[in-house]
Structure 1
């Protein structure tokens, strides 16, 4: 079994693969243009997951590195799912030195609650205090 290597080296990211997954196979970013994926990556702390030099997973964190972080665009390619790689990826994100001591670390998920619960994520303690501007299917328009 190959060992998963996780790095925050943006130069190693496979941009075409990331864009293809997000724009065609994700449930949250269908139709996202490549230029937006590039800008999101440029302005985020990104984690690439690699098997034998081939990228098989991705996650990015938007953060001020002091009080807040938002975990987004987490995925492992379909052929590599069920092997514990998503757990390793989330563990790498949460243990990153620059993401320690934050007051709030948020994410949104439609189907991976069990994964994130094991790392301490819960529904908002005070949901009445949270608000959002949400534009589903924005990239399809």
Structure 2
């Protein structure tokens, strides 16, 4: 625990507007419509970081079948709350969550946080030649 903060996976506590404000300006989901984000959150295992004032200052979600696979997405901590260990604490909470135990594979994509994720067992693809994607980076521009 970090003084003045708490983490919850109670989806009902997530502040959709706050999350949308950050995610819709991110490099990975710029322009995402709020309805699309709501649907994504409703179908994911979510984690929120909250300040003692009740403000949502961080977020992450696992897209998962809760049995074999999970994909980590939409991870952030607001800039003014960085440097306090919140991202590491958030990752520990995610990795220790009971529903994240015994999975065969977890995946994620990142441009700039490889060092963080390596601390929690993530690595470059061992066999990138077997992975494929159907990627539409401009999907939200047409929404």
User: Could you state the TM-score of these two structures normalised by the residue count of structure 1?
Assistant: 0.96
Q: Measure, in 1, the Cα distance between the counterparts of 2:5 and 2:96.
A: 16
Aligned match of 2:61: 60
Structure 2: runs of 5 or more not aligned: none
Q: Measure, in 2, the Cα distance between the counterparts of 1:134 and 1:19.
A: 21
The Cα RMSD (Å) is: 1.1
Q: Where in structure 2 are the equivalents of 1:105-116 lying within 5 Å?
A: 105-116=106-117
Which aligned segments of 4 or more residues in structure 1 are displaced greater than 3 angstroms? none
Q: Where in structure 2 are the equivalents of 1:1-141 lying within 5 Å?
A: 2-24=3-25, 26-52=26-52, 53-141=54-142
Give the number of aligned pairs: 140
Q: Measure, in 1, the Cα distance between the counterparts of 2:108 and 2:27.
A: 14
Q: Measure, in 2, the Cα distance between the counterparts of 1:11 and 1:69.
A: 21
Q: Measure, in 2, the Cα distance between the counterparts of 1:44 and 1:127.
A: 25
Q: Measure, in 2, the Cα distance between the counterparts of 1:6 and 1:71.
A: 16
Q: Deviations over 1:36-85 (max 9, x none)?
A: 00000010000001111211000000111111000000000110111110
CA contact (8 A) 1:2 1:51 kept: no
* Deviation, structure 1 residue 87: 0.6
